[in-house]
Amino acid sequence: MTAILDEFAEHLALERGRSVHTQRAYRGDLTSLFDHLSATNPQASLADLSLPVLRSWLGAQARQGAARSTVARRTSAAKIFTAWATRRGLMKTDPAIRLQQPKSRRTLPAVLRQDQAVAAMEAAHSGAEQDDPMALRDRLIVEMLYATGIRVSELCGLDVDDIDRSRKVLRVLGKGDKERTVPFGGPAADALTAWLERGRADLANSGSGAALLLGARGRRIDPRQVRTVVHQTMSAVPGAPDIGPHGLRHSAATHLLEGGADLRVVQELLGHSTLATTQLYTHVTVARLRAVHDQAHPRA
C-alpha cells in the first residue's frame, strides 16, 4: 500500500494543490483505514475495500472518541482516495460513492478581547527590551501573527525577501499554493526591524538560507516552536484564553470586523477560498455584542 499512498500524495500535491499538512493528514487517515481493513481480513487487498468496511472504520473512529471534525476529514480522505483509485483502475467501482459526509460542527473560536491583544503585544515587547535574539524573534512572531492574521504554516514559510519593508506588506504562499499580499502596521514593522537588525544575525548560520524566522540552531522555525512561543506569551496576560497561533488569527479577523472592515476584504487578507469560512467571524462579533448587551442594557 505504501507505493499507492505515495502516488496518491503526488496526486494531492500536483493535481489538487493540497498542502503538505493535508497530504500528511490524509496519509495518516488512509493508513488507519488500511489497518482496519487488515484487522478484519489479514489477506485483504484494495479490492476488498467496501462500503460496509468504510462505515465500520468510521464508526470505530467515533466510538474511540474522535472529534466530529476528524471523522469528517477522514471521510473526505476516503472519498477522494477511492474516487482517484477508481479512475486509476485500481478499483472496479467506487465504494465510497454512497458514503455520506458528516457535517462538521462549526464552533465559535476562542478570541482575545482587544485589550488582551494589546497586553499580549506589550508582554512580547517587554521581553525583547534587552535585545536577546530569541526574545526579539518571539516579539516578531506574535506581532506578525496578530497584525496579519496569517496561518502558522505561512509564517514559518516566510523568507526575508517575501517582505517589502518600505510598503509594509508581505507576500504569502497559502493553501493550494495561492499567493496573496497582506499588509501589516507600525508595531509589527518595528518588531521586524529589531529582529532583522539586532537578532537574526546572531542565530543565522550556513543552514539558515533565506528563512525569516529561525530556531535556536539557526534553522527555519517550525509550527511547534511558534505554538510554544504564543502559549508562553498568552500565559503572561491575566484572564486571557490560552490560545495558540490560530487563536491569534481568529482574534485578528474578529477585531478587523469589529473595526468595520468589509467581510470580503477580510476574506482576501485571510486567504479563505469561500466567504462562508470568513462569515464564522461575524458570529463571533455578534456573540460578543450580545454578551455586552446582556451585561449592560437595563432591559436585556
- List the one residue out of 176, 149, 151, 123 whose CA is nearest residue 226: 151
The 10 Å Cβ neighbour count of residue 201 is: 11
User: Which of 125, 219, 246, 283 is the catalytic position?
Assistant: 246
Residue 48 and residue 175: Cα distance in Å, rounded?
34
The 10 Å Cβ neighbour count of residue 83 is: 14
User: Which of 27, 79, 220, 281 is the catalytic position?
Assistant: 281
How does DSSP classify residue 176? Answer: G
Per the annotation, the verdict on 281 as an active-site residue is yes
Residue 149 and residue 45: Cα distance in Å, rounded?
45
Residue 38 and residue 273: Cα distance in Å, rounded?
37
Per the annotation, the verdict on 113 as an active-site residue is no
User: Which of 11, 249, 250, 255 is the catalytic position?
Assistant: 249
- List the one residue out of 135, 117, 152 whose CA is nearest residue 227: 152
CB 152 within 8 A of CB 211: no
The three grid cell numbers given for residue 258, joined into one nine-digit string: 469589529
Residue 152 and residue 158: Cα distance in Å, rounded?
10
* Residue partners of 188: CB distance under 8 A and separation at least 6: 140, 143, 144, 146, 147, 148, 168
How does DSSP classify residue 20? Answer: H
User: Which of 175, 219, 227, 231 is the catalytic position?
Assistant: 175
Per the annotation, the verdict on 249 as an active-site residue is yes
CB 12 within 8 A of CB 18: yes
User: Which of 151, 200, 220, 250 is the catalytic position?
Assistant: 151
Q: Where in the sequence numbering do the catalytic residues fall? A: 151, 175, 246, 249, 272, 281
